[in-house]
Amino acid sequence: MGKKDWTTILEKINENEKFLITTHIHPDGDGLGSEKAMYELLIKLNKKPYILNPEPLPYEYDFLNENNIFNHYDEEGYPGILEEFDLIIVLDIGSLIRLGEVGKQMRETSKEVICIDHHPIRHDSFDYEMVDSEVSSTAILLYDLLNNHFPEFLNLEIANALYTGILTDTGSFRFKNTDQETLKVATKLVGMGVVPGEIYNQIYENRLPEQTKLLGAVLQNINYELDGKIAWFKITKKMMENAGAKPENIEGFTDFVRGIRGVEVAAKFLEAAADHTRINFRSKGKIVINQLAKNFNGGGHPYAAGAEIFENIDRAIDLLLPELKKCVAEQDESAE
Ligand SMILES: [Mn+2]
């Protein structure tokens, strides 16, 4: 990764007092772990940080929230809240659209924004950026900041948060982005007292019965295309209701479906609203899917990306599926 130049961001942190920290919709371990690390750092620097996310904390990350530091936007509250802060810090995303209500307010405010991220496809640029798409997680960048500039603050609480980011963004050290540097940082964090099995269990051995019921319904209705190279499935509001599950209870489903033999790309279509469909892609590593995601209001990593279509779920599937087939067919040929 090479040594990072944090000079400007450090200056901005120094000069200001009240910081709003946020991450993307469908918050994941990397966004949340990075937020917590940044929050704790700012507290230690005697600053006033506040975490406000567009969506609630998924229950499997409750262990990061012992001090109730995570807040989320609700439709009725927080109008103009950004004006109460000196500076905004966006973690693990470079697109306002994936910041939900917080992103909408960011379009209207003149407050300056720092963005720390590792997504290769970005829709927006921010006042101060630390972006490296070569690193496996935003947590790796936060580790670099802490390790090089504030090693005295790097305690077990922060180490657990950073380890969470690395663990979840690498699919528990299975995805293609698991490189030497990732493992080196993980080793350092374990050396500080992180217990890998404990964090793994909190996140992955902690599935709710209703989530499992929904997964059962999903697995009975997988659709295959291109001789099984694509597997896709729907999650409708009705399916969630039947299982008693909430939208934040569907993490990991697309990974599971990708794990089917012969599948190169798995796609999830989630009915977010009557005219809003969210799509999630997972590739096994042969087919790059973030360009396709970008064409549908999204982005992400080469093998893990998300998109959204402002249409009902069936129309969204009709629009996207031919493009997904084309994308897979073209790259599959070139890969042979
Ligand atoms: Mn990430």
Instruction: Show the domains of the chain with their CATH numbers.
Output: 7-204 (3.90.1640.10), 209-335 (3.10.310.30)
What spacing in Å lies between the alpha carbon of 118 and ligand 1's midpoint? 6
What spacing in Å lies between the alpha carbon of 306 and ligand 1's midpoint? 12
What spacing in Å lies between the alpha carbon of 227 and ligand 1's midpoint? 31
**pLDDT tens-digit map of 67-99:** 999 999 876 667 788 999 999 999 999 889 889
CA-CA distance, 37 to 17, in Å (whole number)? 17
The answer to whether 8 touches 128, Cβ cutoff 8 Å, is: yes
What spacing in Å lies between the alpha carbon of 20 and ligand 1's midpoint? 19
pLDDT over 70 (residue 271):
yes
Q: Which residue has the higher pLDDT, 81 or 3?
A: 81
226: closest CA among 177, 166, 287, 175? 287
What spacing in Å lies between the alpha carbon of 137 and ligand 1's midpoint? 5
| 182-200: average pLDDT | 98
* 86 alpha-carbon distance from chain centroid: 25
pLDDT of residue 257: 97
**pLDDT tens-digit map of 211-260:** 999 999 999 999 999 999 999 999 999 999 999 998 878 888 999 999 99
Structure tokens at 25: 């919709």
What spacing in Å lies between the alpha carbon of 43 and ligand 1's midpoint? 23
What spacing in Å lies between the alpha carbon of 247 and ligand 1's midpoint? 20
pLDDT over 80 (residue 1):
no
What spacing in Å lies between the alpha carbon of 301 and ligand 1's midpoint? 9
What spacing in Å lies between the alpha carbon of 11 and ligand 1's midpoint? 25
**pLDDT tens-digit map of 112-162:** 999 999 998 888 999 999 999 999 999 999 999 999 999 999 999 999 999
What spacing in Å lies between the alpha carbon of 238 and ligand 1's midpoint? 30
110: closest CA among 134, 127, 133? 127
Secondary structure element (H or E) that encloses residue 46, with its range: none
The amino acid at 199: I
What spacing in Å lies between the alpha carbon of 242 and ligand 1's midpoint? 31
Burial bucket for residue 200 (CB in 10 Å: 0-12, 13-18, 19+): middle
What spacing in Å lies between the alpha carbon of 97 and ligand 1's midpoint? 16
What spacing in Å lies between the alpha carbon of 95 and ligand 1's midpoint? 13
What spacing in Å lies between the alpha carbon of 138 and ligand 1's midpoint? 5
What spacing in Å lies between the alpha carbon of 336 and ligand 1's midpoint? 30
What spacing in Å lies between the alpha carbon of 212 and ligand 1's midpoint? 25
What spacing in Å lies between the alpha carbon of 10 and ligand 1's midpoint? 22
Instruction: Encode 25-41: b = buried (16+ Cβ within 10 Å), e = exposed.
Output: bbbbbbbbbbbbbbbbb
Beta strands per DSSP E along the chain: 18-23, 48-53, 70-72, 87-91, 112-117, 128-131, 223-225, 230-235, 265-273, 276-283, 299-301, 304-309
What spacing in Å lies between the alpha carbon of 262 and ligand 1's midpoint? 27
What spacing in Å lies between the alpha carbon of 145 and ligand 1's midpoint? 16
pTM greater than the 0.75 cutoff? yes
Structure tokens at 29: 């371990």
What spacing in Å lies between the alpha carbon of 24 and ligand 1's midpoint? 10
pLDDT over 80 (residue 205):
yes
